[in-house]
């Protein structure tokens, strides 16, 4: 068997099970199982694979066939400019969240020193990506999940920003000290109906606590806004990700809590996704 045959086998199994990106998934899993880049595989399609490696690859294809996310199988996800260690205890970083990082870096392009906090740290993808770009910034990461904090610590060590982060295992609405120039948050914001209708590839594999935002989806958004009001300096910025159709109610919460909404950023699907608000 060569790479070409094995990829065809993998793609066919995934296509039969209606996986949308069957060919890309098959390539990613072969790359992972052989520990070779996708480019290397595609440039050497006639290269032979032994039976043991073939069986190992097919076992990964079967896991994907059962809708296990690629990031859980490979235990990593590329976000912004780096690979992050991921498992089923944290949300897999989403591509649209990179836009939050991009806009923060744009807004604060002239700020050399800054103290920021991430409410709902998860894998640490947002905070770590920003601190890697801004070598003199320091940050605090808060998460209710002990396991998420452990994973974020691990990612921070690998990416050499551990010494600039203070980790807090706490609920957002419990005591958090300090005054910050920037609060960033990607809170769980999916409502009850949305959660019940999630695809199995998300619902069966990612933690509910990272996705579900209460019956109306605003439970944690409200907590984040109220906490930000207390811990932000005057003129400090809250940069927060929201779900589909959550713009107007979020703006109302923000204005009722003394914020001026400066900017709303749309994602790749033209959905209002990130709110930037200034504490007055
Ligand atoms: C949507 S995930 C975001 C993770 C990561 N920041 C990202 O963008 O990929 C939300 C995170 O908030 C945490 N979380 C949920 N409710 C919380 C609460 N009340 N207080 C603190 N963290 C909370 C979850 O454990 C989860 O890690």
* 118 and 32 assigned to the same domain: no
Considering the domain boundaries, does residue 240 fall inside one?
A: yes
Nearest residue by C-alpha to atom 2 in ligand 1: 210
pTM of the model: 0.94
Considering the domain boundaries, does residue 163 fall inside one?
A: yes
Establish whether residue 128 lines the binding site of ligand 1, counting it when its CB lies within 6 angstroms of any ligand atom. Answer: no
pLDDT digits (tens, 9 = 90+) for 86-106: 999 999 999 999 999 999 999
Name the E strands within 80-208: 82-85, 115-119, 138-143, 165-169, 180-185
Establish whether residue 145 lines the binding site of ligand 1, counting it when its CB lies within 6 angstroms of any ligand atom. Answer: yes
Identify the bridge partners of residue 263 per DSSP, sorted by sequence position. 276
- Domain at 174, CATH number: 3.40.50.150
Q: Average pLDDT in the 61-87 region?
A: 95
Identify the bridge partners of residue 138 per DSSP, sorted by sequence position. 115
Q: Where are the alpha helices (DSSP H) in 159-242?
A: 192-196, 200-203, 208-211, 219-231
Domain of residue 44: give its range: 3-66
Ligand 1 centroid from CA 27, angstroms: 31
Establish whether residue 213 lines the binding site of ligand 1, counting it when its CB lies within 6 angstroms of any ligand atom. Answer: no
Establish whether residue 6 lines the binding site of ligand 1, counting it when its CB lies within 6 angstroms of any ligand atom. Answer: no
The domain total for the chain is 2
Q: How far apart are CA 167 and CA 155, in angstroms?
A: 12
pLDDT digits (tens, 9 = 90+) for 160-197: 999 999 999 999 999 888 899 999 999 999 999 999 99
Nearest residue by C-alpha to atom 20 in ligand 1: 171
Considering the domain boundaries, does residue 11 fall inside one?
A: yes
Establish whether residue 141 lines the binding site of ligand 1, counting it when its CB lies within 6 angstroms of any ligand atom. Answer: no
The residue with tokens 């002239």 is: 110
pLDDT digits (tens, 9 = 90+) for 183-240: 999 999 999 999 999 998 899 999 999 999 999 999 999 999 999 999 999 999 999 9
| Pairing, β 272-279 against β 259-266 | antiparallel
């Amino acid at each position: 068997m060569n790479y070409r045959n094995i990829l065809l086998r993998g793609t066919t199994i995934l296509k039969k099970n209606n996986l949308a990106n069957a060919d890309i998934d098959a390539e990613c899993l072969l790359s992972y199982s052989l520990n070779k880049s996708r480019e290397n595989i595609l440039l050497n399609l006639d290269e032979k694979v032994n039976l043991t490696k073939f069986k190992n690859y097919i076992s990964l294809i079967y896991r994907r066939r059962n809708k296990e996310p690629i990031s859980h199988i490979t235990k990593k996800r590329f976000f912004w400019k780096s690979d992050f260690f991921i498992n089923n205890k944290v949300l897999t970083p989403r591509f649209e969240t990179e836009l939050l990082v991009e806009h923060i870096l744009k807004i604060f392009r002239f700020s050399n020193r800054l103290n920021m906090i991430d409410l709902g740290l998860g894998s640490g993808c947002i905070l770590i990506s920003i601190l890697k770009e801004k070598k003199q910034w320091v940050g605090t990461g808060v998460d209710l999940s002990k396991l998420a904090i452990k994973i974020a610590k691990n990612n921070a060590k690998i990416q050499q920003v551990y010494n600039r982060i203070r980790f807090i295992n706490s609920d957002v609405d419990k005591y958090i000290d300090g005054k910050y120039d920037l609060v960033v948050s990607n809170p769980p914001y999916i409502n009850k109906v949305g959660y019940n209708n999630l695809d199995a590839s998300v619902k069966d594999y990612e933690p509910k606590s990272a996705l579900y935002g209460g019956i109306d989806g605003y439970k944690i958004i409200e907590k984040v806004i109220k906490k930000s009001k207390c811990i932000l300096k005057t003129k400090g910025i809250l940069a927060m990700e929201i779900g589909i159709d959550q713009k107007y109610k979020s703006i109302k919460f923000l204005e009722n809590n003394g914020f001026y909404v400066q900017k709303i950023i749309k994602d790749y699907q033209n959905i209002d996704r990130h709110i930037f608000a200034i504490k007055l």
